[in-house]
């Protein structure tokens, strides 16, 4: 029996809850690992990781997105055999490619490390994470299948299980290997990710056996593969444009640690100190900045088909309505998050990581990162209206400018220059995506919610600054000073927002009464 479709909002809600749990789990894990490894160890982790996303992107070929679309269409037509063919062809492609590329990566690991790693102590961590590629690739195919069936709960459960297992494994392995040196401890943290991903894959396989398609008598893999040429063409037609974006992202991610550390070296910073500063930025600051964006990313996952449906039906009003909803959600998430990360930058990095020196980097990036909370919805809108190429070119241009800015500013001003370079990339990407959407379908932008949000942000910042200073100066501990002042400022923010909305409603009622 075909599973009933989950609604757009229910799917968003399920993914948002799972993403929130995963962010909390990942944040807790990252906090403990950061304290155990220190900034230098985190720097080694961040240097070793970028190669894997590149391998995964190439092996996936954008198939998870294509699978979800084709499976949903096949289910709508009740074509069970086609569903299985889509899945089998996808698994065959990703399995062969991922195993081949992982084998090559392992065989030539020393040569790859000599090119990508500015600190060769990260070699063991890179070696430990490499086997994760085939596991993630197969998991992505199965998640694409469940997304096509609208079984968001299965995907959410597998993600939560993965993060839970990872916390246990990473703490155990880092503690076990730390006596052998920081390089081996970092490798242990990477190995924990492989173990947790494998457990998640086993869960997905068990879920497929429970909820998946029952094979017909005499049905074999070989027959699906022999008859799968057309299915393969359909998958690649949808998947390859997505792959281009992913490849650029992964290639840049692989070279960004080298770019940053090289620019820091030109600024006269030693390799060990450059690794530590990169660890502060990538391991301490980035997790805090990305923490609030789980809602907008969950929304983007469900926004693509919603915008696509409205676009196919040529319903411009519905497209703009959904765009407005998505961007308002970005504002609702990003505004208070930006104030908190800016006002309490140093206290937060001190409490969470015992690294007050990371506070300055967080303070620099927090206001610029406000635009990032609109990035996922804007990207999803472009994909939904069929403008994947525009999204790809925007990302390519923004990445090029970001790389140049990081190198120039980093070599002149050190890690602070690197932070500003990253911020320049975020600003350019958001502006380009906004211009592209405006050019393709027009863009009606009601500025009033953003003006209200800006006023409330200022009030929240002033309240937070005063209350934190007052509580901290009157002998309250740093933890309680931060918690109480954040709660008070958030209350003021939402009260001010509510009062402004109420004033607006009263004004409307008075206008209507005059018209009557």
Kindly tell me if the per-residue pLDDT of 4 is higher than 50.
no
Give the pLDDT confidence score for residue 469 in this predicted structure: 92
Using DSSP's 3-state secondary structure scheme, residue 268 falls into: coil
Mean pLDDT within 368-372: 90
Token representation of residue 367: 């206001």
Least Cα distance to 425 among 304, 253, 178, 234 occurs for 253
Q: Give me the pLDDT at residue 305, please.
A: 63
Provide the CA 283 distance to its chain's centre, in angstroms: 14
Q: Count Cα atoms within 13 angstroms, Cβ side, for 253.
A: 19
Q: Report the C-alpha dihedral over residues 210, 216, 218, 219, rounded to 10 degrees.
A: -70
Are the beta carbons of 42 and 34 closer than 8 angstroms? yes
What is the C-alpha separation between 253 and 245, in angstroms, rounded? 12
Residues 369-379 have a mean pLDDT of 87
Q: According to the model, what pLDDT value does residue 345 have?
A: 93
Query: What's the rounded mean pLDDT across residues 207-221?
Result: 66
pLDDT band at 401 (very low <50, low <70, confident <90, very high): very high
Cα(160)–Cα(162) distance, integer angstroms: 5
Of the candidates 25, 282, 255, 4, the one whose C-alpha atom is nearest the C-alpha of residue 152 is 4
Here the tokens at position 28 are: 């807790």
Asked if 187 and 125 count as a contact pair (C-beta separation under 8 A), the reply is: yes
How far is it, in rounded angstroms, from Cα 30 to Cα 56?
A: 23
pLDDT (0 to 100) of residue 68: 67
The winner for highest mean pLDDT among 128-137, 145-154, 216-225, 248-257 is 128-137
446: phi then psi, degrees, rounded to nearest 5: -80, 110
Instruction: Give yes or no for residue 224 having a pLDDT over 60.
Output: no
Buried residues in 100-109 as b, exposed as e (16+ CB within 10 A): ebbeebeeee
pLDDT band at 3 (very low <50, low <70, confident <90, very high): very low
Residue 138 predicted with pLDDT over 50:
yes
Of the ranges 40-44, 135-139, 410-414, 415-419, which one carries the lowest mean pLDDT score?
40-44
Asked if pLDDT for residue 202 goes beyond 90, the answer is yes
Encoded tokens for 418:
């690197």
Closest CA to 286 of 419, 413, 380, 391: 419
Decide if pLDDT at 25 tops 90.
no
> How big is the chain by its Cα radius of gyration, in Å?
24
Say if residues 259 and 406 touch (Cβ distance below 8 Å): yes
CB distance 280 to 39 below 8 Å: yes
Asked if the model's pLDDT at residue 317 lies above 90, the reply is no
Any idea what DSSP says for residue 354?
A: S
User: 223 vs 463, which has greater pLDDT?
Assistant: 463
Lowest mean pLDDT among 46-50, 444-448, 505-509: 505-509
Work out the pLDDT band at 23, boundaries 50, 70, 90. Answer: confident
Confidence of residue 244 (pLDDT cuts 50, 70, 90): confident
| Mean pLDDT over the full length of the chain | 80
- Residue 275, pLDDT > 90, answer no
> Do 6 and 154 meet the contact criterion of CB atoms below 8 Å apart?
no
| Higher-confidence position of 31 and 451 | 451
Q: Which residue has the higher pLDDT, 461 or 58?
A: 461
Residue 97 has pLDDT above 70, yes or no: yes
CA–CA gap between residue 438 and residue 432 (Å, rounded): 10
pLDDT of residue 129 exceeding 70, the answer is: yes
Mean pLDDT (whole number) for 201-225 = 71
Q: Pick 250 or 85 by higher pLDDT.
A: 85
Most confident of 19-28, 152-161, 330-339, 495-504: 330-339
Tokens describing residue 314: 């040529």
pLDDT band at 261, cuts 50/70/90? confident
The mean pLDDT value for 175-188 works out to 86
Q: Per mean pLDDT, which range of 74-78, 114-118, 402-406, 437-441 is the poorest? A: 74-78
What is residue 137's predicted lDDT score, i.e. its pLDDT? 84
Provide the percentage of residues in the chain whose pLDDT is more than 90: 20
Q: Evaluate if residue 492 carries a pLDDT over 90.
A: yes
Q: What pLDDT was estimated at residue 19?
A: 77
The most confident of the ranges 11-15, 36-40, 85-89, 288-292 is 288-292
Question: Do residues 63 and 140 make contact, with C-beta atoms less than 8 angstroms apart?
Answer: yes
- pLDDT at position 506 is 56
Could you tell me how many helices (H) and strands (E) the chain has, helices first?
22, 0
Q: pLDDT: is 4 or 415 the higher one? A: 415
pLDDT band, residue 6 (cuts 50/70/90) = very low
- For residues 297 and 19, the answer to whether their CB atoms sit within 8 Å is yes
- Give the per-residue SS3 of 315-346: CHHHHHHHHHHHHHHHHHHHHHHHHHHHHCHH
Residue 512 is predicted with a pLDDT of 41
Confidence at 90, pLDDT banded by 50, 70, 90: confident
Write the DSSP assignment of 67-82 as a string of letters.
HHHHHHHHHHTT-HHH
CA nearest 186: which of 143, 125, 272? 125
Identify the residue whose tokens are 């400018």: 401
pLDDT exceeding 70 applies to what percent of the chain? 83
């Amino acid at each position: 029996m075909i599973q009933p479709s989950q609604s757009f909002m229910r799917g968003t809600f399920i993914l948002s809850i799972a993403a929130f749990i995963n962010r909390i789990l990942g944040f807790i894990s990252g906090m403990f690992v950061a304290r155990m490894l220190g900034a230098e160890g985190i720097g080694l982790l961040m240097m070793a990781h970028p190669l894997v996303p590149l391998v995964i992107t190439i092996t996936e070929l954008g198939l998870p997105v294509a699978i979800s679309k084709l499976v949903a269409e096949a289910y709508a037509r009740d074509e069970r055999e086609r569903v299985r063919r889509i899945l089998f062809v996808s698994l065959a492609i990703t399995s062969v490619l991922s195993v081949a590329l992982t084998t090559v990566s392992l065989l030539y690991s020393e040569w790859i490390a000599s090119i990508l790693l500015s600190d060769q102590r990260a070699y063991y961590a890179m070696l430990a994470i490499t086997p994760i590629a085939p596991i993630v690739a197969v998991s992505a195919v199965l998640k694409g299948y469940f997304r096509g069936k609208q079984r968001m709960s299965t995907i959410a459960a597998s993600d939560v299980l993965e993060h839970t297992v990872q916390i246990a494994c990473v703490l155990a392995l880092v503690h076990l290997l730390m006596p052998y040196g920081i390089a081996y401890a970092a490798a242990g943290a990477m190995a924990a990710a492989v173990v947790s991903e494998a457990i998640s894959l086993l869960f997905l396989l068990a879920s497929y056996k429970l909820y998946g398609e029952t094979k017909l008598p005499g049905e074999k893999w070989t027959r699906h593969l022999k008859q799968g040429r057309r299915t393969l063409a359909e998958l690649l037609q949808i998947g390859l444009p997505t792959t281009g974006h992913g490849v650029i992202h992964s290639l840049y991610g692989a070279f960004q640690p080298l770019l940053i550390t090289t620019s820091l070296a030109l600024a006269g910073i030693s390799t060990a100190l450059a690794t530590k500063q990169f660890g502060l930025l990538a391991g301490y600051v980035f997790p805090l900045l990305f923490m609030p964006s789980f809602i907008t990313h969950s929304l983007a996952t469900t926004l693509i088909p919603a915008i696509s449906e409205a676009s196919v039906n040529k319903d411009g009003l519905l497209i703009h309505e959904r765009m407005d909803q998505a961007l308002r959600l970005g504002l609702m998430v990003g505004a208070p998050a930006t104030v908190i990360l800016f006002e309490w930058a140093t206290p937060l990095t001190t409490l969470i990581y015992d690294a007050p020196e990371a506070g300055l980097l967080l303070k620099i990036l927090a206001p610029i990162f406000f635009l990032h909370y609109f990035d996922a919805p804007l990207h999803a809108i472009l994909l939904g209206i069929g403008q994947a190429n525009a999204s790809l070119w925007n990302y390519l241009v923004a990445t090029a400018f970001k790389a140049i800015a990081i190198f120039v500013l980093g070599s002149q001003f050190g890690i602070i220059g690197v932070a500003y370079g990253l911020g320049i990339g975020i600003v350019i990407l958001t502006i380009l995506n906004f211009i592209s959407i405006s050019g393709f379908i027009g863009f009606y932008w009601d500025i009033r919610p953003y003006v209200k949000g800006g006023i409330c942000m200022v009030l929240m910042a002033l309240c937070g600054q005063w209350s934190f200073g007052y509580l901290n100066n009157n002998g309250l501990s740093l933890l309680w000073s931060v918690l109480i002042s954040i709660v008070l400022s958030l209350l003021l923010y939402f009260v001010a927002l509510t009062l402004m909305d109420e004033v607006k409603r009263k004004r409307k009622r008075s206008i209507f009464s005059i018209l009557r």
